[in-house]
Structure 1
Amino acid sequence: MMRKSRDADHDAKEEQRPLNQWRRSKGGFMASMFIFVLSALDNMGFVANMVSIVLYFYGVMHFDLASSANTLTNFMGSTYLLSLVGGFISDTYLNRFTTCLLFGSLEVLALAMLTVQAASKHLHPEACGKSSCVKGGIAVMFYTSLCLLALGMGGVRGSMTAFGADQFDEKDPTEAKALASFFNWLLLSSTVGAITGVTGVVWVSTQKAWHWGFFIITIASSVGFVTLALGKQFYRIKTPGDSPTLRIAQVIVVSFKNRKLSLPESHGELYEISDKDATAEKIAHTNQMRFLDKAAIIQESSKPQAWKICTVTQVEEVKILTRMLPIVASTIILNTCMAQLQTFSVQQGNVMDLKLGSLTVPAPSIPVIPLVFISVLVPLYELFFVPFARKITNHPSGITQLQRVGVGLVLSAISMAVAGIVEVKRRDQGRKDPSKPISLFWLSFQYGIFGIADMFTLVGLLEFFYRESPASMKSLSTSLTWLSTSLGYFLSTVFVNVINAVTKRITRSKQGWLHGFDLNQNNLNLFYWFLATLSCLNFFNYLYWASRYQYKREDSGPGFKPLGEMPLKRVERKQDCEVSRE
């Protein structure tokens, strides 16, 4: 008997050997190199537009200041929000590689349209003195290009990160360490591209011509997606599965239908597919949110049909996503703080001393400061901190993803507090002697601290959502990071409007903290300190949810029985029990 068992194990290993050899020949950092190239080239244009296109709206398309800012924030928020579309499609209908190329083609088309419109003066509106001067065919082309660009860039972000992470097997100890490193190097590659964008591309756009800047971005993005396509033979391409939204809806509907049923004493009596029938990962049962377990209750004469019974794994997928939502919500404030570094901090820099020796730094290039910090710190973190932390914690990433996010939240609060202090110094000098402003590089303190915060939080969230998400929802789950960013941008606009409206009523001067055009007459420092206080409160909220979070565990085998191998027992409804007692 034992000999037969050994022979069976030997045969199974022999059957798995070709598959293991195939997996070793594909994926890994060899495949990731193509993705790093795309990340750098694509992010070069994305960040360049993010920090400078508001000037294009204002100077070329003749929006006023408020409309220019709103158009930018709406565009950025929509781009990050549309990453959910890319994530959904790559999880359900197309594989992540195809999804990335599809949305990439839309992005390149939109950039080409922007280039043509910027280069053709007859496609520019005439100045009219109103909040927006674009109309007719000019407006159609302008807004069509922005919508396509938001859809293309969002779709790429919703699929590219998960596609890169697919090149590593998180179940393999060696590749699990490599997966943690992948997210760090992905951040570094996108940062290098962003540095090029906010320096070289911004300089070309603002000092030479806007259409040349858009043209460079178009060519760079095209080269990036061609590079991605050339690496196809090296990729591990996973096929999409069932619709994640349908799987979620099934659990909610069936658990509601079974709300009056009593849960069995042992969770082993809940329905789960057998190991031999399983084609995807099975997730172990957890005791949180037990009401959802009712979707897996086996009733008399039950058959395993959709919308009538769900597996334990399917129920646990919904539990995982539900546990993730408070984590997502806890990072929105951090992204609201980040929005200030792209708006008010840039305006601060514009009225400071922009001289760096004989060189004048363009105001839109100010965000290069945190990018330089990140480009230096990521290699130091990966090469020195992570190996040291691994020896202490035995965790593949050095520290857990939620610990990493927590560090970022603390640093973001410190960054806003420092920003308020720097603003006081800048404003006092501006009121005392406007001809001698303080140096731009005083902003390096708040930018540098937030750069470190972003390095911890962004990578921590991407890795957390990828590792914890169910196999059928990897892209959609990692898109939750960009959803948080999107909501942070929109919340920034709400805060600015609300703070201005409230402070205008309660201050003696009857002027809002952020009124008018003169920063020297504003109280921007108080707004920064408001965000710092809110960030501290948000950190304690995050600690509560992070401490309660239960990490995903895969089902290791026995405990659940498939429907066909389990004796069916009648599950009584609560109302039936009450009748029998009478």
Structure 2
Amino acid sequence: MLSFVRIFDLTWADLLARYAMWMMMLYLTNVWKLNFTHAAAIINVFWGLMVIMLLPMQFLVDAFMGNYWMLLVSSFAYSAGLGFLTMSTPPVLAKATGTCSLYEPECIGEGQKILFYTALALIALGLSGHLISLGAFIAEQFSEDVLGNVTTCSFIAIVPIGAVIAITYIRLWSIRFGIPAIFTMVATLVFLSRSGSYNCVKPQGSSLSIVFRVLVAATSKMFCKCPKEADRLYETRGVDDVDLLPHSRHLRYL
């Protein structure tokens, strides 16, 4: 049960970070005083960045890192991102940056803006990593009986849902963003505390590696002269169950 909770508490980071991003539209329009179009553009860039990261991060998991290391890196990215997001609110660094502490656009300096956009990038990294590796890592650790235990799953879900309900009644944005940051850091440290007991499956290699090899080989042959005789090409012949397409002048570098 405890091992199950140590891994599943990372779902808290997902839920609370998603809730923080759900509140982001309200934060940008009410505190930064951005119009709806500008605020929506920032949020759309965030989600677009998250989606773009999925493919290269999946390649890293399959070829080099494995699910455990991707979860660890993305969890720390979550924690740092939510921490920077909290620090970007006006009251937190008001004395250090020489700005006011009100939730008004004139109280948001360049330092807070840099922290804010850095936070969005780190949260996108954390979200992408969890989407790729969290479910796969959980499946590597436990049997279907444990994963299907309704009581255990209900226990895991109650804590973050309760936190989300509590955040709804908080008006200070520093605390609204601070609670997910604290929860995420605690979840990451709890996950890290039992690192030696996890079943870490080694990377098996990525199918994208084959695609990249083909692209590199094809690109390197773009400037090679294609022989006029087809029998000088490297290809398999004499196999009954293989139907070779006739040669054409298109894409000759392949």
CA RMSD after TM alignment? 3.9
Match of 2:9 among 27, 30, 37: 37
1:18-50 C-alpha deviation (Å, 9 max, x unpaired): xxxxxxxxxxx76443221221x2134223213
Distance change >3 Å, CA 190–CA 52, structure 1 → 2: farther
The secondary structure found in structure 1 opposite 2:88 is helix
The secondary structure found in structure 2 opposite 1:166 is helix
Q: CA deviation at 1:101?
A: 1.3
Q: Equivalents in 1 of 2:159, 2:190: separation in Å?
A: 15
Q: Equivalents in 2 of 1:76, 1:188: separation in Å?
A: 29
1:129-170 C-alpha deviation (Å, 9 max, x unpaired): xxxx977433322211211221223223322222112225xx
Match of 2:53 among 82, 85, 91: 82
Contact 1:96 1:163 in 2 (8 A): yes
Q: Equivalents in 1 of 2:24, 2:13: separation in Å?
A: 16
Q: Equivalents in 2 of 1:178, 1:250: separation in Å?
A: 41
1:264 paired with 2:235, answer no
Q: Equivalents in 2 of 1:57, 1:104: separation in Å?
A: 25
- What's the counterpart of residue 223 of structure 1? 186
How many residue pairs match? The answer is: 228
Larger Rg over CA atoms: 1
Q: Equivalents in 1 of 2:185, 2:157: separation in Å?
A: 19
Which TM-score applies when normalising by structure 1?
Answer: 0.34
- What's the counterpart of residue 209 of structure 2? 246
1:339-359 C-alpha deviation (Å, 9 max, x unpaired): xxxxxxxxxxxxxxxxxxxxx
Contact 1:83 1:156 in 2 (8 A): no
Q: Equivalents in 2 of 1:88, 1:149: separation in Å?
A: 19
The secondary structure found in structure 1 opposite 2:65 is coil
Distance change >3 Å, CA 51–CA 263, structure 1 → 2: farther
Distance change >3 Å, CA 264–CA 186, structure 1 → 2: farther
1:489-521 C-alpha deviation (Å, 9 max, x unpaired): xxxxxxxxxxxxxxxxxxxxxxxxxxxxxxxxx
User: Letter of the aligned partner of 2:121 in structure 1?
Assistant: C
Q: Equivalents in 2 of 1:58, 1:51: separation in Å?
A: 13
Contact 2:71 2:134 in 1 (8 A): yes
1:139 paired with 2:121, answer no
- What's the counterpart of residue 98 of structure 1? 69
Q: CA deviation at 1:212?
A: 0.9
The secondary structure found in structure 2 opposite 1:228 is helix
Q: Equivalents in 2 of 1:191, 1:141: separation in Å?
A: 31
User: Letter of the aligned partner of 1:155 in structure 2?
Assistant: G
Q: Equivalents in 2 of 1:155, 1:92: separation in Å?
A: 15
- What's the counterpart of residue 169 of structure 2? 203
1:240-288 C-alpha deviation (Å, 9 max, x unpaired): 2434421233467789998964572258xxxxxxxxxxxxxxxxxxxxx
Q: Which runs of 5+ in 2 are unaligned?
A: 222-232, 248-254
1:234 paired with 2:234, answer no
Q: CA deviation at 1:80?
A: 4.1
User: Letter of the aligned partner of 1:236 in structure 2?
Assistant: N
1:49 paired with 2:20, answer yes
Q: Equivalents in 2 of 1:224, 1:247: separation in Å?
A: 37
Q: Equivalents in 1 of 2:123, 2:4: separation in Å?
A: 25
1:89-128 alignment runs, 5 A limit? 89-118=60-89, 119-120=91-92, 121=94, 122=99, 127=105
1:82-481 alignment runs, 5 A limit? 82-118=53-89, 119-120=91-92, 121=94, 122=99, 127=105, 136-168=110-142, 175=143, 177-178=144-145, 181=148, 192=158, 195-204=161-170, 207=171, 209-250=172-213, 261-262=236-237, 264-266=239-241
Q: Percent identity?
A: 21
Contact 1:48 1:202 in 2 (8 A): no
1:424-478 C-alpha deviation (Å, 9 max, x unpaired): xxxxxxxxxxxxxxxxxxxxxxxxxxxxxxxxxxxxxxxxxxxxxxxxxxxxxxx
Contact 1:114 1:142 in 2 (8 A): yes
User: Letter of the aligned partner of 1:202 in structure 2?
Assistant: T
Q: Equivalents in 2 of 1:243, 1:100: separation in Å?
A: 18
Q: Equivalents in 2 of 1:187, 1:253: separation in Å?
A: 46
Q: CA deviation at 1:62?
A: 2.2
Q: Equivalents in 2 of 1:127, 1:33: separation in Å?
A: 41
Contact 1:51 1:198 in 2 (8 A): no
1:519-566 C-alpha deviation (Å, 9 max, x unpaired): xxxxxxxxxxxxxxxxxxxxxxxxxxxxxxxxxxxxxxxxxxxxxxxx
The secondary structure found in structure 2 opposite 1:82 is helix
Contact 1:50 1:76 in 2 (8 A): no
Contact 2:85 2:119 in 1 (8 A): yes
Q: Equivalents in 1 of 2:147, 2:19: separation in Å?
A: 28
- What's the counterpart of residue 8 of structure 1? none
Distance change >3 Å, CA 70–CA 263, structure 1 → 2: farther
The secondary structure found in structure 2 opposite 1:101 is helix
User: Letter of the aligned partner of 1:144 in structure 2?
Assistant: T
1:70 paired with 2:38, answer no
Distance change >3 Å, CA 86–CA 216, structure 1 → 2: same
Q: Equivalents in 2 of 1:218, 1:181: separation in Å?
A: 29
Which TM-score applies when normalising by structure 2?
Answer: 0.71
1:30-80 C-alpha deviation (Å, 9 max, x unpaired): 6443221221x2134223213212111112222122222222233233234
Contact 2:81 2:122 in 1 (8 A): yes
